[in-house]
Amino acid sequence: MQRYPHWIDGKSHPPVDGAWLDVHAPATGEVIAQVAAGTATDVDAAMQAAQRAFPMWSSLPNSQRAQWLERLADALEERLEEAAQAESRDGGKPISLARDVEIPRAIANLRFFAHAATQFASESHHGEAGLNFTLRQPLGVVATISPWNLPLYLFTWKIAPALAAGNCVVAKPSEVTPHSATLLAEIAASIGFPPGVFNLVHGAGPAVGEAMVTHAQVKAISFTGSTAVGKRIASLAAPLLKKVSLELGGKNPSLVFADSDWHDNLDTIVRSAFQNSGQICLCGSRLLVERSIYDEFRDAFVARVQALRVGDPADPATQLGPLVSQAHFDKVMRALATARAEGAHVLCGGDAIDRAGWYIAPTVLEGLGPDSATNREEIFGPVVTLQPFDGDDHALALANASDYGLVATLWDRDLPRALRFARELRTGMVWVNTWLMRDLRTPFGGSNQSGLGREGGAEAMRFFTEAKNVGIKT
Ligand code: NAD
């Protein structure tokens, strides 16, 4: 059976305690591999390695750090197919999605922040009291903790800016999908990436993640995952005065106005709800539809959802795979039971699919108001609700009826209205007539229960550096 060890100081490193966790294939439920069940001792070994590497890495010219990130990107690109297969196997992700979208985006993250290393500039202030300029210095050792839903994509989204800014990293991928990050660590070692600069520690969140967050050497924690774990991390980091960036859950509204080109965009609207079986923090799980088109839209939408090809993630024709784990499958099934108990009308799906693996049929629900648990709690599965709205104020009230605030999507042709909504929606991001539009320079993140801080571009470079002002009398 394949085993995924830690990678510390440029070498593979079996768990000190000799304990391993099973890794399952969501498409069958079978155990396909084992991953190191790390402990605080493994974390400490990684921290020491990172600390030793920091003086060398932080003093390299930016252009040399950029070259290392480019080399890592090149080497990953050569093994793109292997990484895509890895994620399709342990995450149940359709191979086409992994191969065509997500692994290429992981590579793009590395390249983007290679460029950022050479482009990042700091401020100077003059004309008031002498000359002030800001040094933006790397923090030291930083910890990154990432989830299973976009494994390498979100893993690189964190380590790339941290490394570009001159920090050394101890990174923890999800124990549910450990394969692709292990492959990246192995690739890094194979190209001679400086040992200790990028270390990988596997294991369960409480055992490894908390040991990372509270480790004396860690200066900052960049976390993506659930709101509950984000709060736990914040509570551990606050008394230690460590910097945190938290990218958390969502319950995103998608608004469809009667005058929009919704017919032409129906495939994208369906994708925005169901890509990766709805297991993307940016998926729109609350579809708000103007009442004058509600019936027509609902029928067309449901027909398109019923036509989605659900199946084996290894099949290039598959559009929707299984859910990632037994625990997550159970959580989504519980949410469907709650929806029924709340009086939801199931327009399609609503149940598990009778086959091996953790499959749930793509589900569309209607008949629930904004205060229902179904419309307030994150489900993170192939489940979307429909609600009609009457007029702009009602649409806005429904969209903002959430404790979360990650992203909202508008399907609309009325520019003044789109601009008003962009201002008044309580989310970190708004997309108009598009979904998951990526420009890596833009601030990425959510408000309220969806997180704290922003990633992306200069925001990420600022997070991973300490600003030091130098004032000179002139
Ligand atoms: P999770 O919070 O259970 O786990 C995320 C990571 O945190 C994993 O590596 C896990 O091992 C670790 N972890 C768990 N408990 C921990 C603890 N006590 N201390 C430190 N680390 C701990 O989330 P998940 O189930 O892997 O991912 C799904 C969630 O992630 C959803 O809520 C989704 O919305 C969110 N998400 C958010 C974004 C975003 O950008 N806002 C992106 C993707 C996913």
- Whether residue 437 is contained in a domain is answered as no
Per-residue pLDDT, averaged over 136-150, amounts to: 98
pLDDT average, residue stretch 22-46: 98
Ligand 1 centroid to 146 CA: how many Å? Answer: 6
% of the chain at pLDDT higher than 70:
100
- 224 and 357 fall within a common domain: no
pLDDT given at position 195: 98
Write out 257-276 in H/E/C secondary structure: CCCCCCCCCHHHHHHHHHHH
Hey, whose CA ends up nearest to atom 15 of ligand 1?
Answer: 205
Catalytic residue among 247, 378, 455, 459: 247
Let me know if residue 23 belongs to a domain.
Answer: yes
Pocket of ligand 1 contains residue 156 by CB under 6 Å:
no
Q: How far is the CA of 229 from the centre of ligand 1 (A)?
A: 6
Number of domains in the chain: 2
Q: How confident is the model at residue 274 (pLDDT cuts 50, 70, 90)?
A: very high
Indicate if 171 and 36 belong to the same structural domain.
yes
- Give, for ligand 1, the residue of 87, 174, 324, 449 to mutate: max count of ligand atoms closer than 8 Å to Cβ: 174
CA nearest 249: which of 229, 265, 269, 232?
A: 229
- Assess whether 62 and 206 both reside in one domain: yes
- The stretch 83-106 carries a mean pLDDT of 98
Question: Distance between CA 237 and CA 254 in Å, rounded?
Answer: 34
pLDDT of residue 350: 98
CA-nearest residue, atom 9 of ligand 1 = 174
> How much is the pLDDT for 174?
98
Secondary structure tally for the chain: helices H, strands E: 16, 21
Task: Return the pLDDT at 264.
Answer: 98
Query: Are 38 and 6 a contacting pair, CB within 8 Å?
Result: yes
For residue 63, tell me if it sits in a domain.
yes
Q: Answer whether 37 contacts ligand 1 (Cβ < 6 A).
A: no
32 contacts 172 by C-beta, under 8 angstroms: no
- When the pLDDT of each residue in the chain is averaged and rounded to a whole number, the result is 98
Q: Are residues 165 and 107 in the same domain?
A: yes
Record the pTM: 0.98
Are both 353 and 318 inside the same structural domain? yes
Beta strands in 341-397 (DSSP E): 345-348, 363-366, 383-389
**348 is a catalytic site residue:** no
Q: What digits encode the pLDDT tens for the residues 325-353?
A: 999 999 999 999 999 999 999 999 999 99
Distance from the alpha carbon of residue 57 to the mean position of ligand 1, in angstroms = 29
User: Which helix (DSSP H) or strand (DSSP E) does residue 408 occupy?
Assistant: strand 407-411
User: What's the order of all strands across the beta sheet hosting 2-4?
Assistant: 2-4, 31-36, 20-24
Report the nearest-CA residue for atom 34 of ligand 1.
Answer: 249
Evaluate: CB of 380 within 6 angstroms of ligand 1.
Answer: yes
Is 152 found in the same domain as 15? yes
* Cα gap 252→282, rounded to integer Å: 7
Residue 458 lies in a domain: yes
Best residue among 102, 202, 212, 281 to mutate for probing ligand 1, ranked by most atoms within 8 Å of CB? 281
Q: 278 CB under 6 A from ligand 1?
A: no
Interatomic CA distance for residues 60 and 130, integer angstroms: 30
Q: Which atom of ligand 1 is nearest to the CA of 229?
A: 2
CATH number reported for the structural domain that contains residue 338 in this entry: 3.40.309.10
pLDDT band at 12 (very low <50, low <70, confident <90, very high): very high
pLDDT at 465: 98
Note if 459 is an active site residue.
no
- List the domain range (segments joined by +) for residue 375: 252-432
What is the 415 CA–ligand 1 centroid distance (Å)? Answer: 36
d(CA 215, CA 237): 10
The pLDDT-based confidence of 236 (bands split at 50, 70, 90) is very high
Domain for residue 123, yes or no? yes
CATH classification of the domain holding 74:
3.40.605.10
49-92 pLDDT, tens per residue? 999 999 999 999 999 999 999 999 999 999 999 999 999 999 99
**Active-site residue, selected from the candidate residues 87, 175, 281, 283:** 281
**DSSP structural state of residue 444:** B
Q: Encode pLDDT of 368-403 as tens digits.
A: 999 999 999 999 999 999 999 999 999 999 999 999
pLDDT score of 194: 98
Q: 367 C-alpha to center of ligand 1: Å?
A: 30
Q: Tell whether 441 is covered by a domain.
A: no
Q: Using the mean position of ligand 1's atoms as its centre, give its distance from the Cα of residue 217 in Å.
A: 22
Q: For residue 456, tell me if it sits in a domain.
A: yes
140 and 68 co-located in one domain: yes
206 lines ligand 1 (CB under 6 A): yes
Q: What is the pLDDT, as a whole number, of residue 232? A: 98
- The per-residue pLDDT for 185 is 98
460 shares its domain with 380: no
Residue 442 forms part of a structural domain: no
262 CA to centre of ligand 1 in angstroms = 33
Say whether 467 sits in a helix, a strand or coil: strand
Do 87 and 232 reside in the same domain of the chain? yes
Do 210 and 278 lie in one domain? The reply is no
Q: Is 235 in the pocket of ligand 1 (CB under 6 A)?
A: no
Torsions phi, psi of 152, nearest 5?
-80, -30
Do residues 258 and 186 both lie within one domain? Answer: no
Which of 158, 180, 213, 224 for mutating ligand 1's site (highest number of atoms within 8 Å of CB)?
Answer: 224
Answer yes or no: are the C-beta atoms of 402 and 248 closer than 8 Å.
no
Is there a single domain that holds both residue 319 and residue 257?
yes
